[in-house]
Structure 1
Amino acid sequence: MTSIPTPPDGRRPIRRALVSVYDKTGLEDLVRGLHDAGVALVSTGGSARLIESLGIPVTEVADLTGFPECLQGRVKTLHPRVHAGILADTRKPEHLAQLEELDVEPFELVVVNLYPFRQTVASGATPDECIEQIDIGGPSMVRAAAKNHPSVAVVTDPAAYGSVLEAVTAGGFTLEDRKRLAAEAFVHTASYDVAVASWMGNAYADTSDGTGFPAWTGATFERAAVLRYGENPHQRAALYRHWRPGLASAEQLHGKEMSYNNYIDADAAVRAAHDHGDQPTVAIIKHANPCGIAVGDTIEEAYAAAHACDPVSAYGGIVAANRPVTAAMATALNETFSEVVVAPDYDEDALAILKEKKNRRLLLLPEADVAAADPIEMRPVSGGLLIQTRDRIDAVVEGADRAAGATGSAGSTNPSGSANPSGSTNPAGSANPAGAVGSDGAADSTNPARSVGSDGAADSTNPADSTNPARSTNSVGSAGGDDPSLWRLVAGAAADEATLADLDFAWRSVRAVKSNAILLAAGRASVGIGMGQVNRVDSCRLAVDRAGEERVRGSVAASDAFFPFADGLQILLDAGVRAVVAPGGSIRDDEVIAAAEAAGVTMYFAGTRHFAH
């Protein structure tokens, strides 16, 4: 066997191909085209059976190796007669001489795709079922062919089969083509390996340290789009897509291409619009902060109330709904300018109305894709990565008990109408998802009250309120959570049903506001929002100013973290707020409670915090 001459463009004629695929999309057309071009086919298992059923000659790997497939298909291609044919560098006479000595024929083309490991994991399969979908022979062949790209072309994507047939007709792939295919192949196996390693790292990792976080983590992303620019015109940007569904995979139905800032704001809007259970909800976002959030009996009512919160800021904002957009909502949307609308669906008439604005971007993001959001958040920092469980409206402080909070508390029902959010499981799989988290992120099992502290320590010495036995002997206590049934009444009379519904709405909504955050609400709609201030006093002033004197009077307030002093709360009280919910936990909680008592205002401590940075 003599070395194969290489033309100037590096083309290598394809005379023999190894085909072993799980995904048989496009396989029939591919093998017919290869056969018609005179390419000899070698294949395995189901791929070989399909080729045979087409009446196309094929050599089964078992016949090539003289060794049968065994162990329920676990061993098929792991044999020197296969891998020598893939790895032989046909530019080297010594390799060709050894192939001749061993009676091994080289391959010029390897077509392989892998077992559906990710899909199996996502389906909720058992660990044993997942393990069976860890491909061994496939990645080995792909890596071998990619390494030997000077002599072999490797294809892992059925979408590339058309280019394979074009290359066969043209006399083979060029060297540049084979390099590109090799790079794609290594990405394919690397992504696969990361998926397997991440799953096993979570499923089987040593958890003896009690953190709930694996010692190693990895993620892979594929470029989905190159954006016009980044946050500013001088910055370059692209969108990369993870295998989990979400905003990055939303279908764009209309409008200009999405920008970097559009994606940032749309992501914030989607999260804000899906924090209120099954109630129709709309959130309008600008610069990652809400201009308005509201729930309503219908989605158009929710939009009207959300827009009314701050119509000036809502101009040019991003609108997200958790229900299909109706014609009535679309008509209202067309009365002003919005950059993006995101919804799980659009009525036919609504879509026609919205498309009257040619530049407005319309995104379709199914409810199931929102629900499947990764329970883990990652944020890059210089030289590393921060990871945390996603902040959801379902936090429960360690030791929380509804019965403990029933007397003088918000009651045992959830006025938002959603299913019990505080009873959800921990998606991250940590041992204690509800455990208190201090300002450094470390769980504090000795004093769960510290979960609400950031700029002050939890107050464990606050004396009992002997005038109201319904109140906790500790301003925070050892229990609490996002569900109103877990809140503790610390000042004023217990809220009536309507007030409690507004407090619950405000608490669910303030999570979407950048800290320091204050949200005023009335009628299950925001009426004033103070966001992103470096002290809580200014956030209180901003919320009151945005609401205006008429709307603030009789509203309720939610604070994302404790009031370190009574001064911020006093601004709300002086403006006429009738009820407040906050985490509690300041060393001056007694002063804050006293201010609420003096004003005759109802105040609850939730015991949880919702900073957003």
Structure 2
Amino acid sequence: MSDIKAQYRTVMDDHFPSEVTLKVGETELVYRKRTWKLPDSQGELVEKGLRYGENPGQEAALYELVKGGLTVGDVELIEAGNGLVSGLDESQMLQAGKHPGKTNLTDVDGALHILRYLTDRPAAAIMKHNNPSGAAMGADIAEAYHKAFMADLIAAFGGAAVLNRPVTVEAAEMMNDLYLEVVAAPDYEEGSLDILKKRKNLRILRIPRMDELARYRNARFLDIKSLMDGGMVLQTSSVNPIKTPEDLLPARSEHQGKVYEPKRKPTQRELEDVVFGWAVEQGVTSNSVIYVKDGCTVGIGTGEQDRVGVARIAVDKAYSKYQNRLAWEKHGLKYDILLAEIARGTKEASLKEAIDQEAKEAKAGLTGSIMISDAFFPFRDGVDVGLAQGVSCIAHPGGSMRDWESIEACNETDPPTAMVFTGQRAFKH
């Protein structure tokens, strides 16, 4: 068993070159391997790169683009000198904790991919395995973090919390109550680091240029997908065009000579939540359906093969997360731990019954939420899943042969459910 545990503590040597040159046509892109001089388990400074890859035993290396810029057609890709995660040096690792691994840094990068579209207000994203467990905006950064954490306090355990404003003492105290792998932010207010550093293994990062995150909104990068046969697929990365409610499209479909449109237009609050939710969707693995309300995720369904299935999964997750939140707020226990204590006879069964009833009556916060899908609904069955929970507005790219069915489904509710199109698919694989 000790040998099994040791593999997670071992910082691997990697044999990747210090520099990689990728030639695309006549353009050369030069990447330099990122290494850090950090203390090992004996406290001695050792220069190494990533701890390991996705799993122990997988060599890995992080590279920063240091030379060259690529234009593909009319699309100019991001140039050298703009490193965020890849630009991290020792001075920005305010506490190295355990030596950083691939998943730690890709989770931070995934959060930045979302937060670059949410720069106007304090926002936080807690990432786990390249998907957000919770994302939220708030009046201040502490509120944004609290909302993101409470959206899924189970998955947040061991996650990467990324905030787009300096960490305050209030936010640091909240984060100190939970085991996190990484905290990343543009800066840290006086006193906040003292609180965070109480957890010795926590990686505390000040991301270079994160205070300039807004200028990355429209930046595209070269997206490389490696294939098992040694081949690869190159593509330019996607960009979210939805900046304001005015960028959304009215839902409209024609079928057999008849025009179908929603009976009710969305409110300003609903439109703002659509813009927020579509930003979050950029960082969610497809197929995905998410529910958001008041600038916070309610349920996140990720990576499923069918859209109606992922819509149901997001609902199920919303209920389980809501039950957890109630158990935590009322009894200081996670829901499953409360059930275990009831089974042992140390807690009354009535506590569970009360939580279940409250979650049922509130429909887990789904009533009045916005249902967002990263691609169109091929049939109305996916839309019906959200409508059964009382969503007040649905947003998806549009373009299905059966968009008219989905619009009709919205018009059948009382009051009618609003619908808008984004005009863009948001797949992420």
Shared fold (TM-score, shorter chain, > 0.5): yes
Q: CA deviation at 1:367?
A: 2.3
Structure 1 position 610 matched with structure 2 position 403:
no
Report the equivalent of 1:367: 210
The verdict on how the C-alpha distance between 1:464 and 1:584 changes in structure 2, with shifts beyond 3 A counting, is farther
2:53 maps to 230
- 3-state SS of paired residue (1:242): strand
Structure 2 residue 222 is matched with structure 1 residue 377: yes
Shift of 1:371: 5.2
Q: Which residue of 2 aligns with 1:503?
A: 274
**What residue is the counterpart of 1:394 in the other structure?**
241
| Alignment of structure 1 residues 237-386 onto 2, 5 Å | 237-243=60-66, 244=81, 245-250=83-88, 251-254=92-95, 255-365=97-207, 366-367=209-210, 370=213, 375-382=220-227, 383-386=230-233
**d(CA) in 1 for partners of 2:282 and 2:256?**
30
Q: Deviations over 1:377-418 (max 9, x none)?
A: 3213334443333322226xxxxxxxxxxxxxxxxx936xxx
Alignment correspondent of 1:590: 404
Match of 1:553 among 347, 359, 367: 367
> Measured at CA, do residues 389 and 380 of structure 1 come closer, stay the same or move farther in structure 2, by a change above 3 Å?
closer
Which residue of the partner structure matches residue 390 of structure 2? 576
Query: Which structure has more RCO (C-alpha within 8 Å, separation ≥ 6)?
Result: 2
> Match for 1:567: what amino acid?
D
Once the 2 structures are TM-superposed, how far is the Cα of residue 368 of structure 1 from its aligned partner? 5.2
Instruction: Give the aligned partner of residue 346 of structure 2.
Output: none
Mapped contact 2:117–2:214 kept (Cα < 8 A):
no
Change (3 A) 1:261 1:325: same
Higher strand share: 2
Q: Distance in 2 between matches of 1:269 and 1:257?
A: 20
- Write the letter of the residue equivalent to 2:295: R
User: Which of structures 1 and 2 has the bigger CA Rg?
Assistant: 1
Give the letter for the 2:164 counterpart: N
Letter in 2 for 1:602: A
Q: Who is 1:48 aligned against?
A: none
Q: Residues 145-172 of structure 1: CA distance to partner in whole angstroms, max 9, x if unpaired?
A: xxxxxxxxxxxxxxxxxxxxxxxxxxxx
User: Does the C-alpha gap of structure 1 residues 513 and 492 become closer, same or farther in structure 2, counting only changes over 3 Å?
Assistant: farther
Encode CA deviations 1:461-513: one digit per residue, 9 max, x unaligned: 635655xxxx7xxxxxxxxxxxxxxxxxx423111222222222112211211
Residues 390 and 310 from structure 1, CA distance in 2 versus in 1: closer, same or farther, beyond 3 angstroms? same
1:312 and 1:540 map into 2 onto residues whose CA distance is: 20
Higher mean C-alpha deviation, range 238-247 or range 521-530: 238-247
3-state SS in 2 of match to 1:319? strand
User: Is 1:462 the equivalent of 2:255?
Assistant: yes
**Aligned-residue offset at 1:308:** 1.1
Q: Measure the CA separation in 1 of the matches of 2:106 and 2:132.
A: 13
Q: Which runs of 5+ in 2 are unaligned?
A: 1-16, 36-48, 67-80, 320-362
Change (3 A) 1:371 1:604: closer
Residue type of the alignment partner of 1:603 = M
CA contact 1:246–1:370 (8 Å) conserved in 2: no
Structure 1 residue 369: Cα displacement: 6.0
Cα distance between partner residues in 1 of 2:253 and 2:390? 30
Query: What TM-score, normalized by structure 2, do the two folds share?
Result: 0.71
Aligned pairs, how many? 329
SS state of the match for residue 221, structure 1? strand
SS of the equivalent of 1:248 reads: helix
Q: 1:371 to 1:257 in 2, by over 3 A?
A: farther
CA–CA separation in structure 1 for the residues paired with 2:185 and 2:29 = 27
> In structure 1, the residue corresponding to 2:134 is in which secondary structure?
strand
Partner of 2:77: none
1:3 maps to what in 2? none
Q: What is the match of residue 218 of structure 1?
A: 28
Counterpart secondary structure, 2:368? coil
Greater shift after overlay, 281-290 or 549-558? 549-558
Alignment of 1:54-69 (within 5 A): none
Alpha-carbon spacing, 1:358–1:566, altered in 2? closer, same or farther (3 Å): same
CA deviations on 1:183-220 (whole Å, 9 max, x unpaired) are: 99xx7xx97xx8xxx8xxxxxxxxxxxxxxx7444322
Cα 1:593–1:216 change in 2 (3 A) is farther
Matches of 1:570 and 1:353, distance apart in 2: 46
Rounded Cα–Cα distance in structure 1 between residues aligned with 2:311 and 2:253 = 26
Distance, in Å, in 2 between the alignment partners of 1:389 and 1:378 is 6
Distance 1:384 1:355, change over 3 A: same
Q: CA distance change for structure 1 residues 545 and 314 in 2, over 3 Å: closer, same or farther? A: same
